[in-house]
Amino acid sequence: MCGTVNVLISAYNGEKYIEEQIDSILQQTYKNIKIIIRDDGSTDSTVKLIEANPLYKDIAIYKDSNIGHGKSFLKLLEYTPEGDYWAFCDQDDVWEPQKLEWAVEWLDKQRGRAALYHGSYDMYSEDLSVKVGEYTRPTSKIKFYNTITDSVYQGFSVVINRELRSLLRRCDIERLTAHDWMAGMIAEQFGTVFFDARITAKHRRLKNSLSAMNLSNRAAWFMKALQGKTEISTTVKEFLRVFGDEISVSDRKILEWFDHDKYCMKDALKKACYYKRWRPSIPSEIAIRVLMVLGKV
């Protein structure tokens, strides 16, 4: 194992925890690492903290305007054409020392095809004092259709290879908001995925975190979806635009159920009555099918 891993961090007002995350990256057992940070228009001391720390002298920092989390990571992929692997990284987690070693060990064996590594992780309170849960390998195998309605693979725990980066870079940054969602769809459709059961990180459950799917956040997501403001349609439209001619007829037909600017009862019922499970949990499955009937996803 000797390939270069580009660790990509999109930072936004991350002064509170970003140094702890960077330190955990520098302490990885796998050493061929380059850390690249894109500051997404922070208004705090994030950049100053990094620039002032002599241990971070080799970190590349791009200071830019705010364009949002997903687009910022797509920019980071654009900024890093060299290397073998790309690891997406949150600004406030703490990685276990062997995370990248385990990722590269598997990715090294997948040469020639798009590959996505996803590590399991423990979820902690904001100060990391209390473990509140864990996110690990699903009990059932993920299929392509599961990635249509849900970002199955969480970006902060994903490492991809050059082949997957190349496919992801074909997407238009202005048409896409969720880099990890699209990466998961591409990998399931054209490549391979490994969901490692080993714990690779401590993930902070911040109150405003997108990944902190507590009851109130789930309710907020459902209300947002009722207004037709989810990323499902955006992601599907871009996948069809870029890859629609390269997939099977059956997969294309399923994707086209979601490709509507106006309500289509016929396709709404096809989605809602689909015989396979869209989501892993029953409450989530019920919610997504209700939204399908209403034409909101």
Question: Domain total for the chain?
Answer: 2
Q: Are residues 96 and 115 in the same domain?
A: yes
Confidence at residue 216, expressed as pLDDT on a 0 to 100 scale: 61
Q: Are residues 10 and 156 in the same domain?
A: yes
Confidence at residue 1, expressed as pLDDT on a 0 to 100 scale: 67
Confidence at residue 217, expressed as pLDDT on a 0 to 100 scale: 65
Q: Are residues 262 and 117 in the same domain?
A: no
Confidence at residue 212, expressed as pLDDT on a 0 to 100 scale: 44
Residue 85 located in a structural domain: yes
Q: Are residues 225 and 118 in the same domain?
A: no
Confidence at residue 210, expressed as pLDDT on a 0 to 100 scale: 46
Q: Are residues 68 and 94 in the same domain?
A: yes
Q: Are residues 255 and 111 in the same domain?
A: no
Residue 234 located in a structural domain: yes
119 and 102 Cβ atoms separated by less than 8 Å: yes
pLDDT, block means (10 residues), the chain with 297 residues: 93 96 98 97 96 96 94 96 97 97 98 96 95 91 94 94 98 93 98 97 75 59 74 93 97 95 93 94 91 90
Residue that is last in its domain, among 204, 234, 250 = 204
Sign of CA dihedral 101, 102, 103, 106: positive
Confidence at residue 140, expressed as pLDDT on a 0 to 100 scale: 86
| CA pair distance 68, 8, nearest whole angstrom | 15
Q: Are residues 182 and 256 in the same domain?
A: no
Confidence at residue 86, expressed as pLDDT on a 0 to 100 scale: 98
- Residue 30: give the domain boundaries: 5-204
Residue that is last in its domain, among 140, 172, 204 = 204
Q: Are residues 191 and 156 in the same domain?
A: yes
Q: Are residues 177 and 278 in the same domain?
A: no
Q: Are residues 37 and 101 in the same domain?
A: yes
Q: Are residues 72 and 200 in the same domain?
A: yes
Confidence at residue 280, expressed as pLDDT on a 0 to 100 scale: 86
| CA pair distance 103, 32, nearest whole angstrom | 13
Q: Are residues 176 and 224 in the same domain?
A: no
Residue 49, CA atoms < 13 Å, CB-side half-sphere: 20
The domain spanning residue 199 has which CATH number? 3.90.550.10
| CA pair distance 96, 90, nearest whole angstrom | 14
- Tokens representing 75 are 């920019």
Structure pTM?
A: 0.93
